[in-house]
Amino acid sequence: MLSLLLQAQGSQYFTIALWIGVLGVMYFFMIRPQQQKQKDQKNFVNNLKKGDNVVTIGGLHGKIVAVEGTTVVVEVDRGVKLTFEKSAISREATTKTEPEKAA
């Protein structure tokens, strides 16, 4: 009877340890990277400046011509300027250079 009670108690400890392990894995592989990504995005948005090439969350590419408080003015074509909230800027645009042609 006593050995049966000890086995049940040991099983409970194992189950609790297993759940703690599962929650730890979820934190380090899902929650923590998402928090880091949000922090990086917030820093990027707060450091936007005139002349940066950016992409909006809608996929619009352009160059920042003015930063005014919580908004930015993006030039998408010559003479075409649109105003966006800073939070609508997704990432910095990468400029692709043309490959050099072999002579």
Give residue limits of the domains in the chain.
Answer: 1-47, 49-96
* pLDDT tens-digit series, residues 7-59: 666 788 888 999 999 999 998 899 999 999 999 999 999 999 999 999 999 99
Q: How far apart are CA 16 and CA 20, in angstroms?
A: 6
Q: What is the pTM of this model?
A: 0.64
- Would you say 54 and 89 are in contact if contact means Cβ atoms under 8 Å apart? yes
Longest dimension (CA), the chain: 89
pLDDT-derived band of residue 2, with 50, 70 and 90 as boundaries?
A: very low
Q: How far apart are CA 59 and CA 84, in angstroms?
A: 13
CATH 2.30.30: does it fit domain 49-96? yes
